[in-house]
Amino acid sequence: MFANKLTQKLKIQYPIIQAPMAGGVTTSKLVAAVSDSGGLGFIGAGYMTPSQLREQIREIKAMTKNHFGVNLFVPQSFHASEGDIGFAQQILDPFYQKLKISQSKQVDFPSHDKQIETFINQIKVIIEENVPICSFTFGIPSKEVVAELKRHSILLIGTATTVSEAQEVEESGMDAVVLQGSEAGGHRGNFSESSLEKSMVGLMSLIPQAADHVNIPLIAAGGIMDGRGLMASLFLGASAVQMGTAFLTCMESGAHAIHKEKVLRSKENEVVVTRSFSGKWARGVENQFIKDMRGEEKILPEFPIQNTLTQGIRKAAGQQNQFEYMSLWSGQSPRLAKDQTVDSLIKTILSQAEKLKNS
């Protein structure tokens, strides 16, 4: 009933994509359940080593015969002086103390070259394991990488936060583009638009304008949780939706129990954007860490430096069930999140959409 050119290309029944969510949310159970329910499951592999990625791909292949994809972070160059790092460590020290752990002064940052090496090895795994779909966020990979993946007939999906970025994705030769609206949970995928304000375009504006200026299929992402969001996105010109928060609270997701609970109890005005956790703007449920860091967040080191510096805090907070210091990523529609199975989420979306179609 919802088949279109994109669903045919992706070999899925319904235009519903489970957002890749790096950091342990996209378990094999979640990805396989989505693909088995007629949608497209995605591994959020941004923080994975190539061998961890290979292992998860094989695990999912053993669980489903259906298509699924892998999402990667495109490495970006970054710079931080010893002084910047020392300053950030000083600001973070009280949080380490609150959690009764010590902050190691000698932190190992992955160099840009090392990140590129890991990225290339992740790409190799995707090719060797015959993964049919690969998506990217935080930028566009090099021409060589795009050509190599295309040579192996792998479908490529980029991420954009503005029409201009979507045009850049199209020009790079990708097959489709995720339009990430300002409502979206998790990190912003902007790469050309350097200021936060300019990259924060709502989906209601973004989809139809992209539909008028971009020729590859559009995938809408941000605040979509049910059949209403799916149908609205399709009417505005998208060919599919990519949903993160709606899948994050599903039983099969690997999100921390407290993260799920906080999203399930939050309201739309309690999710905010912050760059305090990682050095990159991201949307999540506001907590003490975000509030305490607000004054300094604009002068913190860039991603992935700040991400590495807060790693100890996030890990200890998770182990100690201290939600005030965890990153609780969520989109702007938490009131619509439910504690349910993937099967029930997808069936509900389809029946709501069916009713809307016939009304």
Name the residues that contact ligand FMN, by CB under 6 A.
19-22, 25, 44, 46, 71, 137, 159, 180, 183-186, 189, 221-224, 242-246, 248, 329-331, 333
Q: What's the min distance (Å) between Cβ of 21 and ligand FMN?
A: 3
Q: What's the min distance (Å) between Cβ of 82 and ligand FMN?
A: 30
- CA–CA separation, 354 vs 22, rounded Å? 32
Q: What's the min distance (Å) between Cβ of 343 and ligand FMN?
A: 19
Q: Toward ligand FMN, which CB reaches closer, 139 or 186?
A: 186
Residue type, 227: G
Q: Toward ligand FMN, which CB reaches closer, 85 or 253?
A: 253
Q: Toward ligand FMN, which CB reaches closer, 72 or 91?
A: 72
- CA–CA separation, 178 vs 68, rounded Å? 16
Q: What's the min distance (Å) between Cβ of 283 and ligand FMN?
A: 8
- What is the number of residues in the chain? 359
Q: What's the min distance (Å) between Cβ of 297 and ligand FMN?
A: 19
- CA–CA separation, 276 vs 307, rounded Å? 8
Q: Toward ligand FMN, which CB reaches closer, 89 or 121?
A: 121
* Integer angstrom CA distances of residue 108 from 85, 285, 324: 12, 29, 26
- CA–CA separation, 270 vs 175, rounded Å? 35
Element at 73 (helix H, strand E):
strand 68-73
Q: What's the min distance (Å) between Cβ of 331 and ligand FMN?
A: 2
Q: Toward ligand FMN, which CB reaches closer, 96 or 135?
A: 135
Burial zone of 261 (CB within 10 Å; 0-12 exposed, 13-18 middle, 19+ buried): middle
Q: Toward ligand FMN, which CB reaches closer, 159 or 172?
A: 159
- Token digits of residue 197: 């304000």
Q: Toward ligand FMN, which CB reaches closer, 185 or 237?
A: 185
- CA–CA separation, 200 vs 161, rounded Å? 7
Q: What's the min distance (Å) between Cβ of 259 and ligand FMN?
A: 8
Residue nearest to ligand FMN (CB): 331
* Integer angstrom CA distances of residue 251 from 29, 120, 168, 322: 9, 33, 37, 21
DSSP 15-33: SEEEPP-TTTTS-HHHHHH
